[in-house]
Structure 1
Amino acid sequence: MHIMLTLDQIESAILQLPSHEVQQLLEWLSDLDYQNWDQQLEEDIKQGKLDDLAAEAIAEYEAGECKEI
């Protein structure tokens, strides 16, 4: 059986966690966010949504408009 919790229920449960488990949850959420971001970036690349930005960056580099950091 699949139980769906509301956001209020989840927030209430989080407030009851010991601080070390809250830290673990934060790390897990951060990892999840990065994974979602990476997936979205890969999809955007496949769809060509970043082609114009890449071309602009290459043109600036070739024109010597970049500086080392």
Structure 2
Amino acid sequence: MSKLEKIEESVASLDSEDFAAFSRWFELLQAKRWDEAFDRDARASGKLSELADEALAEHRAGRTRQL
């Protein structure tokens, strides 16, 4: 049995209270990892700055509209 299969089996066997606590913890972990990856990517590639510059240029050229 793989490590993932063992985790799946363990999670599936949790009672309602423990499952709810696990779910809250897992959601926080996912959010933390997403934030870390986003920050890392933003610093490493400069992609967000490029997109922001492009959007501002489009706006200045009058090619945007109010949402």
TM-score (norm 1): 0.70
Q: Which runs of 5+ in 1 are unaligned?
A: none
Provide runs of 4+ in structure 1 moved above 3 Å.
60-64
Q: Which runs of 5+ in 2 are unaligned?
A: none
Over the aligned positions, Cα root-mean-square deviation in angstroms equals 2.0
What amino acid does structure 1 have at the position aligned with 2:51? L
Partner of 1:12: 9
Q: 1:25 aligns with which of 22, 26, 29?
A: 22
Partner of 1:44: 41
Percent of pairs with identical residues: 33
TM-score (norm 2): 0.72
